Every structure is written in C-alpha cells, then in structure tokens.
Structure 1
C-alpha cells in the first residue's frame, strides 16, 4: 500500500507525520511526505528513512522574514500553495491508495483536488480540536478577520468563519479547480475538512466534545518514541546540577527576543533554578556568561523534557503534547492561534500555569513559574502523563490501511 502525507505548517504540524510514517512503514506501507522545504523538516524525515518532497515556500523564511506576511498578501500566497501542493502530490500519487493532508486550507485544498481527479481516498487531519467547527468553542480568528466581540453564539461565529474562509481563499482555490477541470466549491472550509475529519490530539489533553455536527475520528496524538541522543554539551549541563527550566518558543518569532530572553532567564533564576534556552525561530540567546545557563538548538524534546523542572513555551500543539507526555510541569505563554486553548487546558488539568498574555514580564512569569514548580503541579503532571495515549499514530495507521475504513472520498 502507498500513502502520501502532506503538511504546510511549522514543526508542530510536520512532526506528527513522522510518527504516522513510522507506524505506517511498520505495517508494510510505502510512505512519502510533501512538506515545506525547510532543512530541519527534511533532516528529521531523512532520519527515519522517509523521502520528503519539498513543497511550497520555506515556512521559517515566511514567518521570520524582514517583511512579515500581511493579510493583503494572503490571496497570492494561497494561489501559490494550492498549485504547489496539487502539482507535487499529483506527481507522487501514481499507485497511491490514500492521501492525508493537514495544515493551511489552500495547501490542503490542492491535495483534495488530486484525490478528486484520481479517485483516491482522502483524509483531513487537525492536531487541535479548536480548529474544527463545534458549538462548544469559537473558531480561531483568521488573519485580518477578528471575531465579532459582541457575538457569543459559537454557531454564528462558525458560520461567519466559513464565509471568511470563502472570501479569503475561495477565488484562489476555485480558479485552480476550474483550470484542472473540477467544479468550484462554495464552502472551501468544509470542502477541505469533509464531514468526517480526523483529530490527532490526545483525548485527555485536547478532547473532542460531543455532540457536534461533524463525525470526528479522534485517534490520539501521533507520537513515536524519539531515540535520538541529546547533544553531548547539553547532557553534560543536565548532569552538572539540579534539573533546569527549559525556555523555548519553537517556531514562533518573538517581537523583542533580547527582552524575552532577559526576562525569562531572570525569572527562572529568581526561583533558584538553572536555565536551558532554546534558540528556536525566535533566535533567543544567553544574556551573560554565567554557567547556570545553556543555549540549545535542535534537540530531542522527549528526552530533554523528561529531565527538566518545567517547560516554558508558547503552547503549540506539538510542544504541549510532548511536555504533557513527558510529565513536565508547564508555563504556557500563548502567542495566538490554538495556543490560548492549550494554555487553558494546561491550567485546567493542573499540570502548569497559563501566562496572562503573549508578552512575559518578570513579575508575571515569576508568578507562573511559582505555580509550575510546586510539588502539587509536579504530581499532577506525572499523573496526567500516565493517562496520555501513546498509540495514536498506530491507531491512525491501522485505520488508513484497513480496507473497510470509512474515510471521506473526493
């Protein structure tokens, strides 16, 4: 059996495909991945022996460039993504049995068009429940499309979200569809989601609430044990003293990285803890030459998070899931998107603290750290870690390969 996986996303959206690819190959499937041409993605997939087809522009360059992306440029970027993912997935689809797509709507729409043209099974996957329409939560605001502050009915907000998606992406998607002989669609959001999307999130950390109009298949998060060793210098730092606090914001560029690093390091030091600073896309760095701090680049988060006192991070689905699975107390400093949701879940589960707002200050971050570093929070984090499902990727792989799997077809 042959499966093509695709994602146009940051690391948190590409990493789950690693887990799924590993489990698919264990079941005898041939797997290829279409993903952004960022070196770290290609290197990660090469490490498990899976071919990556670079598709679309570099996500890192897009979000960290000198000129940040604007809402006005969305239609042009959408047209590029639709065409890029359609063309590259089409080139990989000969003999393919199923296409799996996640990430931005235009990229996924290009994949769905391939499924329609070739009559191949198609599955849309979200890594967080709040991306999917439900009466239990409002939609995530789209760029340049804030939610109406005076509307509290979630269904009304989701109806507006569908109209917004059509206005923002509809022309680019439908122009491409017509060019390849497919009819236009009047609801691009629901078109790419289908009426039976998959949800690759942990049911303890990020459950799907019923009832809802969608028949959502929640598989569990797509995790796989990461056997990569930690860099020698990092291991030596960990061995040299008490467990440090990790600070990193993953694929999120920070508005003032020097100030964020200074505030974070000073707040952690005020708790009597050592610090590991993740360089990340925010390009955080050390603020002095003291030996209680260590800066790290790419590293195995599973191995690292299991050895730290707490994890300070932005609240992306991938980082939150890994920290939860590792049993590490957390401080979530949400920057946008699905991150406020994960911040609230961390707080509600008692496994950490949700920082109030996206900009850490010494006082606010210190208060959150005091909560995260209590024995009670550590005990809760350990207990919740024991409840996290570890078979989500295996469940998804079996569903994909099962002949009678009820997956939406193009």
Structure 2
C-alpha cells in the first residue's frame, strides 16, 4: 500500500505524521511524507521517503505583528501556489490513499483526482460535529444548544482560499468546482484525554497518539540528567513568537525563583531568550520530549497538542499558558482531567500567578502518573495502520 501523507507547519505539525510513516514502513507499506515545513532536516533521514514542499505561508511566521489579518491572508494566498504545485508533483506519482493535515487544503483534492480514499489526520476534535462539546476554538461558555452547529465555523477558516482552490482544481487537476474527497477523520489523540462522543459517526476514529520515538542510541546529556536531580520543571513555548521574548523570559525566571524550583528552558523559535541565567536555570535548544520529560517534575508550555500529549504520556503534571487557536482547549482539557491547574493565558502572564500554578501542578503528580500509564498502554500508530489497511484492503503491501 502506497500512502501519501501531506502536511505543513512547525515540527509539532509534522512529527506525528512521521511517526505514522515509520509505523507504515515497519508494517511493509510504502509511505511518502510530503511536508511544507521549516523542520525538514529532522525527518529526512528516518528510513522512509521524505519530500520537502515549498514553505509557502510558513515564511510569514516570524513577522506577523506588523500586518493586519486581511493583509496576511493575501500574502498567504500569494505563497500557496508553489506549495500546491509541489504537492501535486508528488501525488501525480500515484498513491493508494492520501492522509493529510487539516491545514493542508489540497489533501482532499489530491485524493479526488487520484480516486483514492482520503483520511484527515486530526490532533484536535475540530472536524466532526458533536453535541457533547462546542467546536474547540470557541470558549467553554458557548451555550450547549449551539455545540453541534458551532462546527460550521471550521468551514469558514478556509473560505478566503476557496477561489484559489477552485482555480487550482481546474487548471492543475482538471476537476470542476468541489470540496474534494473525505472518507475518514482519524483522531490522533487518546480516548482517555478526549472520550469519544456518542454521536460521532463510524467514519470518525480515535487511534491514540502518534508518537515518534527518539533514536534508540540517543542518550539524554549527563549534564541535563544531573541538573534535574532536584525538583525541576520544563518550560518551553514551542514555535510561538508573539510579543517580547525578553520580557517573557523575565516573567518566567521570576516565577521560577518564587516557586523555588529548578528549570530547564527551551529556546524554541524565539519564545524565550536570556543572556545570563541563574544557577537554578538551564537553557536547551532541541531535546526530545519523550527523553526529557521523564526527568522533570512538571511541564510548563504553550498548550500545543503535541507538547500536551508528550507531557501527559510521560505522566507529568502541566501548566498550560496558551497563545491562540486550540491551545486554550487543551488547557481546559488537562485541567478537567486533574493533571493541570487552570490555564494561564500568555497575554498578561504574571510571575506570581505562574509560580503559584507551578506549585499547584506539582501537587497533581499522582493524577498525571495515572493518566500517563493509560496513554502509554495505547498503540496509536498501530491502530492507525490497521485502519488504513481496512480502507485499502486490495492494495497489498
């Protein structure tokens, strides 16, 4: 079975699909991972074919404050054409099934052109309406009567790009106007974190997380292991680049002092920066979460789905400081599960509140450890591979 996987974005948007590609390869299939990303070098040597697509709107990620929303949309549309063209170059080689990231608008259209099943790989329950909870980009106080209808807002996200997609379908794929093909939504998160709503259709699957294991020969640097022997928290905000990283780092350092803990700070894409650090703080660049988190006592992060999943699987309590998008949702979920205090939005982040949240998180270690055991017992990528095989029973290996 030849599986075309198309994704885009930061490392967190690509890494789960790389995990799926590895599992497919191990099962005897032929995965091709095509990604518009800045993190391509990380995935190019994992043993399956990796194709780096044009970066497209990722070029805007470092400098968004100076533009309004409409200007950003216009710039993004102007950058998408090359990404679309690159994606079709790969797809035109053929595939038995297409798996795609929600933000990759061409995935369903490529599947329609190839006349093969299309699978949306989702990290957040945004794409299947339910009466159980509102669309996760909305605040929690949304009236329950509007829960199901609120999912229509997801369609509005791609509305500015419909004309561009329609033109591309006609010019490149030779297809009439349409929404593309969508057969299955495969949720790559744990049922212990988001229980399956009763009103989801059979085409909405939950597999468990798609974790990419670190290389077997990777050993966490001894300096990090030694540093983390006291009560230590990890603090990192991923690829979030908004606001002033210098000020944010000052807030974090003061919170660490007030909480009386040691801290490992992750530099990210500009989220944290400091020329001088106290003895109880160490800064790192790229360290695999699955190797680092078991050594720390709590994880402070931006609320990205991937980091929340890694901390939960490690059995570590969390403090979530969301910026935007689905991050507040994961803050609510982790609090509801008892493994995190209430989320602290990045806007107006305060040292005293952050210190108090770190102390509260440390008191939730038992609940976090129990959740971690349940998550580690799942085989997310294995279940995903079996689901794809059921969708293509005649494709062979």
Q: TM above 0.5, one fold?
A: yes
**CA–CA separation in structure 1 for the residues paired with 2:118 and 2:235:** 38
**CA–CA separation in structure 2 for the residues paired with 1:391 and 1:351:** 22
Task: Choose which of 219, 222, 229 in structure 1 pairs with 2:218.
Answer: 229
Instruction: Please give the secondary structure, in 1, of the residue aligned with 2:126.
Output: helix
| 1:312, distance to aligned residue in structure 2 (A) | 0.3
Runs of 4+ in 1 over 4 A off after TM superposition: 66-70, 146-152, 403-407
Tell me if the contact between 1:201 and 1:207 (Cα under 8 Å) persists in the aligned partners. Answer: no
Tell me if the contact between 2:258 and 2:352 (Cα under 8 Å) persists in the aligned partners. Answer: no
**Mapping of 1:133-148 within 5 angstroms?**
133-139=129-135
Tell me if the contact between 2:137 and 2:329 (Cα under 8 Å) persists in the aligned partners. Answer: no
* 352-361 or 326-335, larger mean C-alpha shift: 352-361
Q: What is the aligned partner in structure 2 of residue 357 from structure 1?
A: 345
TM-score scaled by length of structure 2: 0.88
**CA–CA separation in structure 2 for the residues paired with 1:97 and 1:259:** 50
Instruction: Please give the secondary structure, in 1, of the residue aligned with 2:17.
Output: helix
**CA–CA separation in structure 1 for the residues paired with 2:66 and 2:130:** 31
Q: What is the aligned partner in structure 2 of residue 154 from structure 1?
A: 147
Q: What is the aligned partner in structure 1 of residue 11 from structure 2?
A: 11
TM-score scaled by length of structure 1: 0.85
Q: Does 1:371 align with 2:367?
A: no
Q: What is the aligned partner in structure 1 of residue 69 from structure 2?
A: 71
Q: What is the aligned partner in structure 2 of residue 91 from structure 1?
A: 90
CA RMSD of aligned residues (A): 2.9
Q: Does 1:120 align with 2:116?
A: yes
| 1:100, distance to aligned residue in structure 2 (A) | 0.8
**Mapping of 1:260-279 within 5 angstroms?**
260-279=248-267
Tell me if the contact between 2:301 and 2:307 (Cα under 8 Å) persists in the aligned partners. Answer: yes
**Mapping of 1:393-408 within 5 angstroms?**
393-402=381-390
Q: What is the aligned partner in structure 1 of residue 239 from structure 2?
A: 251
Tell me if the contact between 1:8 and 1:103 (Cα under 8 Å) persists in the aligned partners. Answer: no
- Mark the runs of 5 or more structure 1 residues left unpaired by the alignment: none
**CA–CA separation in structure 2 for the residues paired with 1:149 and 1:79:** 35
Q: 1:29 to 1:195 in 2, by over 3 A?
A: closer
Q: 1:141 to 1:324 in 2, by over 3 A?
A: closer
Once the two structures are superposed, residues 331-359 of structure 1 have per-residue CA deviations (whole angstroms, 9 ceiling, x without a partner) of: 00111111111111111111122323223
| 1:66, distance to aligned residue in structure 2 (A) | 6.3
Instruction: Please give the secondary structure, in 2, of the residue aligned with 1:53.
Output: strand
**CA–CA separation in structure 2 for the residues paired with 1:303 and 1:114:** 37
* 360-369 or 83-92, larger mean C-alpha shift: 83-92
**CA–CA separation in structure 1 for the residues paired with 2:278 and 2:94:** 57
Q: 1:213 to 1:172 in 2, by over 3 A?
A: farther
Instruction: Please give the secondary structure, in 2, of the residue aligned with 1:386.
Output: helix
Q: 1:48 to 1:230 in 2, by over 3 A?
A: same
Tell me if the contact between 1:277 and 1:294 (Cα under 8 Å) persists in the aligned partners. Answer: yes
Once the two structures are superposed, residues 270-301 of structure 1 have per-residue CA deviations (whole angstroms, 9 ceiling, x without a partner) of: 22211111000134123634221111111111
Tell me if the contact between 1:245 and 1:309 (Cα under 8 Å) persists in the aligned partners. Answer: yes
Q: 1:141 to 1:274 in 2, by over 3 A?
A: closer
Tell me if the contact between 2:56 and 2:80 (Cα under 8 Å) persists in the aligned partners. Answer: no
